[in-house]
Structure 1
Amino acid sequence: MPMTVLVVYGSTNGSTAGIAETVAAELRERGLDTEIRPAGSVTDVSRYEAVVVGGALYAGRWHRGARRFVRRHRRALAARPLWLFSSGPLDASAAERDIPPVRGVRRTMTSLDARGHVTFGGCLEEGARGWVAGRILAADKGGDFRDLDAVREWAGRIAGELAKT
């Protein structure tokens, strides 16, 4: 029976959800039974052997849904393999270099002994919700900076680590 992995995400405009979907698809491709859910919809993680949590970055903080998920399930997450990802930079910086986790995510990594974290580029396109998103788009600073090949590669490394356990 394959290992069951939960991929959860906190996303407002869908960019982080798209990254989470790519992670889940790659894990499935590698033979892992994988479920993907918005962070706020998960009430129990006990049936999953591993968890991947992703959150969009807003003003230097992880998405509220991702933060609440981690807080709510802290004890269960500490007892299983855990990986974290962030999405957000609206430029090529995430593809050019490693971007360390923001302070709150770094604390979560330490307290829950997460196995890894990566920051991926974000996506902000016309129709995005929120005043700040509107201002960014009005300044012509939006676009899609997600590198889905890098996302698949990272998910493949997770699958490889889980295959060893």
Structure 2
Amino acid sequence: MPDSVLVAYGTTNGSTARIAETIAEVLRRDGLRAEALPARTVGSVAPYVAVVVGGGLYAGRWQKDARRFVRRHEHDLAERPLWLFSSGPLDPSASERDIPPVPGVKKAMQVLDAREHVTFGGCLEEGAKGWVARMILRSGKGGDFRDFPAIEAWAARVGSQLVGVAGRT
């Protein structure tokens, strides 16, 4: 998809994928060409004029596929408009205040000159993979804390900044 926007994401249980798909959907609704893809499947960012990268937060770090994507494509990401998002707090805190990026994401923001980072609430529900996820669920701390109106508003803001950068459909 030449002249389009890539929304790459790292997810373990699918919550971050749904956020990325929502962001791409809003960008398309605003007239941009956009696609959401798992970060591990992206071979090159060369066809894209801008990139949004998101990762689920696990123990204070971005999900491994998001971390690897940023390292693997560091040079190309630094040459195009870039936004980052995280998903993870399993409480309403992300809807109540700005949550700064975790240290690894903050470093990536600086190295790549990312335009913005936002943290959205996460989602952890029955059937989630991983020992830690199961422990969290057993302790009663799971749930869906994604704020889709806030996600859509942020995506629209990204889209407004991209007008004239990415090709229109």
TM-score (norm 2): 0.95
Deviation, 1:36, is 1.1
- 1:85 is aligned to 85
- Once the two structures are superposed, residues 102-125 of structure 1 have per-residue CA deviations (whole angstroms, 9 ceiling, x without a partner) of 000000000000000000000000
Identical amino acids, percent of aligned pairs: 65
Equivalent in the alignment of 2:98: 98
Map of 2:113 onto structure 1 = 113
Q: CA RMSD for the aligned pairs?
A: 1.0
C-alpha distance in structure 2 between counterparts of 1:38 and 1:152, whole Å: 19
- The CA deviation at 1:164 is 5.0
> CA shift at 1:28, angstroms?
0.4
Q: Could you tell me how far 1:3 is from its partner in structure 2?
A: 4.1
TM-score (norm 1): 0.97
Tell me, in whole angstroms, the C-alpha distance in 2 between the residues paired with 1:25 and 1:77.
Answer: 22
Q: Does the CA-based 8 Å contact 2:3-2:47 persist in structure 1?
A: no
In 1, Cα distance between the equivalents of 2:125 and 2:70?
A: 28
SS at match of 1:146: coil
State the distance in 1 between where 2:164 and 2:77 align.
19
Please tell me whether the aligned partners of residues 8 and 20 of structure 1 are also in contact (alpha carbons under 8 angstroms): yes
Equivalents in 2 of 1:88, 1:156: separation in Å?
A: 21
Q: Does 1:48 align with 2:48?
A: yes
Paired residues, number: 164
Q: Which residue of 2 aligns with 1:131?
A: 131
